[in-house]
Chains A and B, each alone.
Chain A
Amino acid sequence: MRRRAASIVTWMLLLVAAGWIVVHAHYTADLSAFLPARPSPAQRALVEELRDGVAARLILIDIDGGDRTQRVQLSQGLATRLRANPAFTSISNGRAASPESDQRFVFNHRYLLSEQVTPGHFSTVGLRSAIADSLDSLASPSGFLARDLLLADPTGETPQVLGQLSAGAGPRSESGVWVSADGSEALLVAQTRAAGGDTNGQEHAVGVIEAEFGRLRASTLPAAAAIRLRTSGPGVFAVRARATIVREAIRLSVLSSLLIASLLLMTYRSLRTLALGLLPVVSGALAGAAAVALGFGVIHGVTLGFGVTLIGESVDYSIYLLIQARRGPAGSAASAWIASYWPTVRLGLLTSICGFASLLPSAFPGLAQLGLYSMAGLLAAAAVTRFVLPALLPVQWAARPLSGLGVRIARGIDRLQGYRQLLWLLPLLAVAVVYAHRDRLWSRDLAALSPVSAADQQLDARLRSSLGAPDVSDLIVISAADAELALRAAEAIGAHLDDLVRAGELAGFDTPARYLPSLALQSQRRAALPTGAVLRDRLRVALAGLPLRATRLEPFVAAVEQARTSPLIEQSALADTSLASGVDALLARRGDRVVALVPLHAPNAGAHPFSIDAARVKAALGPALPGVSIAVLDLKHESDGLYASYQSEAIRMSLLGLGVIVLLLLAVLRSATRVLRVIAPLLLAVLLVSAALLACHQELTILHLIGLLLIVAVGSNYALFFDRRNSPADVDERSTTLASLFIANVATVLGFGVLAFSAVPVLSALGMTVAPGAFAALIFAALMARPVGPHGGRS
């Protein structure tokens, strides 16, 4: 009696502790579940960019529908309202802060900003060719744009700088507002104050955008106007992914709990027994979450989704107890069950734990958490079944006899066993299918794991290309001690990249140095300007034969003279111009370093259209300046590499898990034949499920692979029960065991089966693998067990 009380009290105390930990745990749903725990330097830069980088803080906004005037009105209204909101550091919608102040700024600083300004440009020859060019432009169709500049800027620096600034291939604009390529949508770019990895901050920002748009629309447009707003970007994706995962985790766990509870209610025909049967499940779920919170410090949303799988599995232990326990010759039914069945259940538990333990060292944080969650959850569920349930059951309690169901199942199995020779065909068939799909066995794309829908990804790609917004795809990340050094490095890199653009390797690139040249380069340019007297002399010679007389160019001489003595451009001087947003987007202080980003644009033709050869870029850059570190990020390459490493790791882990399970069985069963009997049906189920997935055009991802491991870990429980029948058989026991296995199996299939319908790819992959696999494992285990004669005797 005292032992019963002690186990109940211990259990309740642990439950309260676990509950406290779970309530106070940190939850996250950012991409980090999919990012390596121990990254390489390039991966680290990638992860930083994904979490804190400028690109990760951009929210792309698209206003679609209505007519042009309405879209322009909404775009400008929204930009004005968002600029006033502290959640955003900048809003761009095409209308420069003031286009005239931009033009004035460029005109006033043209000799510091223009890439053409070198001593050669102001030599007699350089002046002559530049002025002749300007005269030619004057006669060209676009000449009317620059006619009033001729006398003050005959060398064409203003158009040159404007050309430099538009080289970033800005979006199309209409009525001063950015629009999509076909003009049917208005586009804006918001930069959030919150980091991309701060999902709460991103959620707030998205909420602000939607609320402001809603208010604006209600106040300016008729209610019927069919005009909508869509947002995209890494932060938006994280917000949506978290919402999806949370929604799915709740929806799926409620659904599978309901299904399993109904199944058990039909089985037990007693609400009290049902409630007792669910105690291990609840305890397991709490213990699992608490273990993850303690072990990792943070719980990934996706882990809670995986947690749904535990429901179907952890309920098995109480099912065995509550169906199999019959009153023995001495003591209660529960203690009889413990004596007779617990060793088998314990061995099954150990094999499952071995399977999940092999996930623990994974570099993929999502998987490592799944491993720990399941281990702790199963241990807790089994322990509660073994130690707490017997204490809670009335002494006189015994399982409702289910031998009727068991007898029917036994008859079915005996009939099927007549065909067991045909089982040999299955592996042959499955191997043939797998062989036929050998080229498309594995999915090679990290995106296969992404919870972002394909439609969202397409919208994002379209907006990004319309806006020319930096993507975290191909990016050079320059990190230096201060802004000046970072800009100098960006200029040095820019010169090399220009070569690649000329060679067709790149379509172009953006650089903060285009908007704000380093002070070093500015003073070089200033030093290249001749004095007024020298310039007048050179002009007289240079203009010989041209229709322009040197005496008319006094405004030019005065402007150069002024530029020679004016101060250099500091970042603060850009404040009132749209150049500031270019610098802000590409130059940022991070900790005690300054990071400059140089996004690369892939060529849309040539040897490798739409892709960039990162190795060539890396080779072309040459050595970095001292004190500057440079990383070339190639998201595709990095993520493919990451995925490949996850995949080989998953294969290694699965094989290791299988090996450990075999060793464990060998150690306990001490017979190779018996181990083979236990393992063979599981391997057959794995083979069959792989073949079926491939035949249904599912490329296998890491999660399918993990699912295959789980088939072994879960299915081993069933196979062990069939092995157990080596003990003296009696018909009643056999049919009760069969009935309990059947019910446990259905519960597992329900738990995983519900997961198969999830919208989150990682969850559905796991579900669609384990649900059929667990069922197949049971059937094969039954068929491959030693045949039992019609009267229960062994043949």
Chain B
Amino acid sequence: MSRRIRTLLLCSWLMGSTAAAADDLNQLMARLRQRQHGHVPYTELFISNALDRPLASSGELFYDAPDRLEKRTNKPKAERMVLEKGQLTFERRHKQYHVALADVPQAAPYIEGIRATLAGDRPALEQVFGIVFESSIDQWTLRLTPLDAHVVAEVATVRIDGSADVIKTVTVQLVNGDRSVTTLGSQLEP
């Protein structure tokens, strides 16, 4: 086999695989779009070079298709973060703070990435992240790279692992080496 043919073959194989990956991502997105509601427990570990041991927190996530995601932390302190129709609300000790998601690009890795994935909203994901999609038989991984200049300075990557139409873990890797790992549990009664 001539070298030229080999190169051609390699190219076609590569192209085929990216096309397949793109198809798979679209399939996954379509599949995720089917889900209308979600309610799962989560635990989160924040692992920092500055700290001797990880900081743990836990709570619940609520999702209503396509544009509402609530992160309700119970431990160590009660706090709520709600993303609804592009508006972010933080609530702690009965005090509320509203801000437009567009004004807080730093929030995208922590909430908009999950919201857009759950909603199967590929255009929304691509607006704030570069996407690399990998999948095996029953597992898939989205590697998201922030696009916003402010966010790039802090966040290196966001990795979302899932299987079928559920998200299993979300890992936010910071530029300074710190990272947060959120593990989602199985569906609770609504």
Could you tell me which A residues sit within 8 Å of B by CB distance? 135-145, 147-148, 150-151, 163, 166, 172-176, 183, 547-549, 552
Residues of A within 8 A of B53 (CB): 547
Binding stretch for chain A, among B21-29, B102-110, B115-123, B159-167: B102-110
Residues of A within 8 A of B99 (CB): 172-173
Contact B52 A547 (CB under 8 A): yes
A137–B81 Cα distance when bound, in Å, is: 13
Contact A144 B79 (CB under 8 A): no
Known A135-B51, A141-B110; further 19 A-B contacts with Cβ < 8 A? A136-B77, A139-B44, A139-B56, A139-B76, A140-B92, A141-B73, A141-B80, A141-B90, A142-B79, A144-B180, A151-B50, A163-B95, A173-B103, A174-B100, A175-B100, A176-B103, A183-B87, A547-B52, A547-B55
Residues of B within 8 A of A143 (CB): 46
Q: Which of B55, B81, B107 meets A138, CB within 8 Å? A: B55
Contact A147 B178 (CB under 8 A): yes
A494–B139 Cα distance when bound, in Å, is: 58
Q: Which of B57, B106, B107 meets A139, CB within 8 Å? A: B57
Taking CB as reference atom, which chain A residue is nearest B58? A139
What 0/1 readout, one digit per residue, does chain B (88-104) give for beta carbons within 8 Å of chain A?
A: 00101001011110111
Taking CB as reference atom, which chain B residue is nearest A181? B98
A689–B123 Cα distance when bound, in Å, is: 71
B71 within 8 A of A: yes
Contact A138 B100 (CB under 8 A): no
Residues of A within 8 A of B111 (CB): 141
24 cross-chain CB contacts under 8 A: A135-B51, A136-B76, A139-B44, A140-B77, A140-B92, A141-B90, A141-B110, A142-B79, A142-B92, A144-B107, A144-B110, A145-B104, A147-B48, A148-B154, A148-B176, A150-B48, A150-B50, A172-B87, A174-B100, A174-B103, A175-B102, A547-B51, A547-B55, A548-B51
Q: Which of A140, A173, A552 meets B73, CB within 8 Å? A: A140
Assess A142 versus B106: contact at CB under 8 Å? Given A135-B55, A166-B97.
Answer: no
Contact A141 B71 (CB under 8 A): yes
Residues of B within 8 A of A142 (CB): 79, 81, 90, 92
Q: Which of B48, B71, B77 meets A137, CB within 8 Å? A: B77
- What is the minimal beta-carbon distance from A618 to any residue of chain B, in angstroms? 27
A174–B103 Cα distance when bound, in Å, is: 7
Residues of B within 8 A of A147 (CB): 48, 154, 174, 178
Contact B100 A145 (CB under 8 A): no
Residues of A within 8 A of B102 (CB): 174-175
Total contacting residues, chain B, CB less than 8 A: 39
- What is the minimal beta-carbon distance from A502 to any residue of chain B, in angstroms? 12
Taking CB as reference atom, which chain B residue is nearest A171? B98
List the 3 shortest-distance A-B pairs measured between CB atoms, nearest first. A141-B81, A139-B57, A174-B100
Point out which of A140, A145, A176 has the most chain B C-beta atoms below 10 A from its C-beta.
A140
Residues of A within 8 A of B81 (CB): 141-142
Contact A552 B77 (CB under 8 A): no
Residues of B within 8 A of A144 (CB): 106-107, 109-110, 180
Residues of B within 8 A of A173 (CB): 99-100, 103
- What is the minimal beta-carbon distance from B157 to any residue of chain A, in angstroms? 15
Residues of A within 8 A of B48 (CB): 147, 150
- What is the minimal beta-carbon distance from B50 to any residue of chain A, in angstroms? 5
Residues of B within 8 A of A136 (CB): 76-77
Taking CB as reference atom, which chain A residue is nearest B88? A142
A137–B55 Cα distance when bound, in Å, is: 10
A547–B57 Cα distance when bound, in Å, is: 14
A713–B78 Cα distance when bound, in Å, is: 73
Taking CB as reference atom, which chain A residue is nearest B44? A139
Contact A145 B106 (CB under 8 A): yes
Residues of A within 8 A of B174 (CB): 147
Residues of B within 8 A of A549 (CB): 52
Taking CB as reference atom, which chain B residue is nearest A174? B100
- What is the minimal beta-carbon distance from A650 to any residue of chain B, in angstroms? 48
Q: Which of A141, A150, A163 meets B79, CB within 8 Å? A: A141
A527–B136 Cα distance when bound, in Å, is: 63
- What is the minimal beta-carbon distance from B80 to any residue of chain A, in angstroms? 7
Point out which of A139, A147, A148, A173 has the most chain B C-beta atoms below 10 A from its C-beta.
A139
A176–B95 Cα distance when bound, in Å, is: 21
Residues of B within 8 A of A139 (CB): 44, 46, 55-57, 73, 76
Taking CB as reference atom, which chain B residue is nearest A163? B95
Taking CB as reference atom, which chain A residue is nearest B95? A163
Residues of A within 8 A of B154 (CB): 147-148
Point out which of A137, A138, A141, A142 has the most chain B C-beta atoms below 10 A from its C-beta.
A141
- What is the minimal beta-carbon distance from B158 to any residue of chain A, in angstroms? 12
A305–B77 Cα distance when bound, in Å, is: 65
A302–B71 Cα distance when bound, in Å, is: 59
Residues of A within 8 A of B109 (CB): 144
Residues of A within 8 A of B46 (CB): 138-139, 143
Q: Which of B52, B56, B95, B106 meets A548, CB within 8 Å? A: B52
A140–B182 Cα distance when bound, in Å, is: 12
- What is the minimal beta-carbon distance from B63 to any residue of chain A, in angstroms? 15
Taking CB as reference atom, which chain A residue is nearest B56? A139
Residues of A within 8 A of B80 (CB): 141
- What is the minimal beta-carbon distance from B76 to any residue of chain A, in angstroms? 4
Taking CB as reference atom, which chain B residue is nearest A137? B77
A88–B106 Cα distance when bound, in Å, is: 35
- What is the minimal beta-carbon distance from A733 to any residue of chain B, in angstroms? 82
- What is the minimal beta-carbon distance from A585 to any residue of chain B, in angstroms? 21
Taking CB as reference atom, which chain B residue is nearest A145? B106
Residues of B within 8 A of A176 (CB): 103
Contact A548 B79 (CB under 8 A): no
A141–B180 Cα distance when bound, in Å, is: 11
A143–B44 Cα distance when bound, in Å, is: 12
Taking CB as reference atom, which chain A residue is nearest B106? A144
- What is the minimal beta-carbon distance from A388 to any residue of chain B, in angstroms? 73
A547–B76 Cα distance when bound, in Å, is: 14
Contact A140 B52 (CB under 8 A): no
A176–B99 Cα distance when bound, in Å, is: 10
A163–B81 Cα distance when bound, in Å, is: 16
Residues of A within 8 A of B176 (CB): 148
